[in-house]
Amino acid sequence: MQSLLPVLGILGAILMFFAAAMGVPYAVSGWLRDTAIGAWPASMAATFGCGLALWLGARRFRRELQARDGVLLVSLAWTVLPLFACLPLLLYFHQDARPISFTDAYFEAMSGLTTTGATVLSGLDALPVSINLWRCLLQWMGGMGILVLAVAILPLLGAGGSQLFKAETAGPLKDTKLTPRITETAKGLWSVYVSFSIACLLVYRIGGMGWPDAWMHMFTTVSLGGLSSHDSSFGYFRSPLLEGACVVFMLLASCNFALYFVALRKRSARQLLGDSETRATLGLMVGASLLVAALLLLKGSYADPLLALRHAFFNVVSVASTTGFATVDYSRWPIFAPVLMLMLSGVATSAGSTGAGIKMVRVIILLKQARREMSRLVHPRAVNPVMLGASPVHSSAIFAVLAFMLVYGATILGLTMVMLLTDLDVVTAFTAVAASVNNMGPGLGPVGPAGTFGPLSDVQTWVCTLAMLLGRLEMLSFMVLLTPSFWRK
């Protein structure tokens, strides 16, 4: 137990920070005098009190984090934080005489923090601004990672913060250092993230959004989260200008933030523009958008080429980047289009972005490894290393990618089979699980862009909640906790 106490102490500090974040919607609620104002004091007090108790109880056991501590803390944080994040939802809906179940409230909070964007709520336009703001703020904090922020601002982590950073950061090449100190790296990534956020906010406001909508949709655009304050999602605004701005920021957020950081430090975009993963990410999204636009024209879904391009680009980029905004019900398009979009959500974003899924760098490594194996069939003695740019990929990274792909496929297949056991139809079951694991949001059928996850049963909702958690932690970081070797000294 003593070995767990340092981890619990840091979790307590993160909870106290989380309670402070609740002050933002609380202040907005007080300023606008909305009906949710009574939900915030109790939620903040409960969150801060539990965090303070954990921190005080463990402060005598401080030490630097080890690798297993980082994995444990990340898994604990992404499981516990939604527990407190859902408190305002439970309290507001209870006082509004529309009680929401704990299952649905926890799902909504998990969807926010993991930047999934799936929702069980309807009537979003009628919700208090502070409740919608909290849902969107959760996505913004979860986008770059609350724990990466903790590394940047909590000095009690010390040098052990590098273990937390590695456990939280997505992608197979997470050991690469951008600066000598991991705290400087975390601060640098967050500075880029905040800069994009400010730019997105101003563009949305100039483009015609009111300040509340501009703030909320900025939060969910740069985080590639996709929650909205409107039932009709981004289609509520009916603005080609805003949709174009959103596409630009979704594409920017789909690329590796570390490359932006390096470009700013070196004052040169050469490394960013020359990165093979970035080119593949942008090329795949643009190419798929053009393909879907051509399909919509050929099938007669739209007669106007510009309208087909507009809807294809926005919705394909939104789904492929794991954002999940929608301007139309794309599930009514020829079936090839929504299925292609769902598949892209698993592969299109770059490692180091705020997106989820497999990550493009893993796909590149797999393709190059496959090409090397085919070459070996003809030239068995040839030395042909897998290269990323000018650097060879170590065999350990290749093995990690292969292991991840195996677990990724098994997770989607296994959870889909569980959903089928509950008598859910195969399309809804598979797409709900795939969209949750990829942290993308809407699937097809009742959980599609025109619907919500509300009709699912409690068991089905918990399966999707687990899928979101596994997707955010990239499976292995969570599943290793279930192995006896993790708990062995």
Distance CA 465, CA 473 (A): 13
For the beta carbon of residue 123, count every other beta carbon within 10 angstroms.
Answer: 8
Residue 235 has pLDDT above 80, yes or no: yes
Out of 68-77, 161-170, 452-461, pick the least confident: 161-170
- The structure tokens 């993790």 sit at 486
Q: What is the pTM of this model?
A: 0.93
pLDDT score at 400: 86
Query: How is residue 344 written in tokens?
Result: 């892209």
Enter the tokens of residue 103: 């299952």
pLDDT at 6: 81
Would the pLDDT of 170 be above 70? no
- Distance between CA 94 and CA 131 in Å, rounded? 13
pLDDT tens-place string over residues 393-402: 888 888 988 9
* pLDDT tens string 94-117: 887 678 999 999 999 999 999 999
pLDDT at residue 203 tops 80: yes
Q: What's the whole-number average pLDDT of the chain? A: 90
Closest-CA residue to 217 (of 230, 26, 25, 206): 230
Take residue 82 and report the two structure tokens written for it: 């939604």
Mean pLDDT of 32-38: 93
Query: Is it the case that residue 467 has pLDDT exceeding 80?
Result: yes
Phi-psi region of 389 (alpha: psi -120 to 50; beta: other; left: phi over 0): left
Least confident piece of the model among 279-293, 379-393, 399-413: 379-393
| DSSP bridge pairs for 388 | 391
The C-alpha atoms of residue 419 and residue 440 are separated, in whole angstroms, by 18
Residue pair 346/438 in contact (Cβ under 8 Å)? The answer is yes
Residue 175: strand, helix, or coil: coil
Q: Which of 230, 240, 399 is nearest to 325 (CA)?
A: 230
Q: Copy the structure tokens of residue 276.
A: 């093979």
The DSSP line for 57-126 is HHGGG-----HHHHHHHHHHHHHHHHHHHTHHHHHHHHHTT----HHHHHHHHHHHHTT--------GGG
pLDDT at 165 over 80: no
Spatial separation of the C-alpha atoms in residues 170 and 192, rounded to whole Å = 17
Task: Give residue 117's pLDDT.
Answer: 92
Q: Tokens in use for 4?
A: 């767990």
- Going from N- to C-terminal start, the domains of the chain cover 395-487
Between CA 163 and CA 52 the distance in angstroms is 23
Give me the DSSP letters along 321-358: TT----SS-GGGS-THHHHHHHHHTTTSSPTTSS--SS
Alpha helices (H) along 208-328? 211-222, 240-253, 257-266, 270-273, 276-298, 305-320
Q: Bridge-partner residues for 419, per DSSP?
A: none
As beta bridge partners, residue 392 has: 387
Is residue 362 a contact partner of residue 401, using CB atoms and an 8 Å limit?
yes
3 falls in which pLDDT band (50, 70, 90)? low
Q: Say yes or no to pLDDT of 475 above 90.
A: no
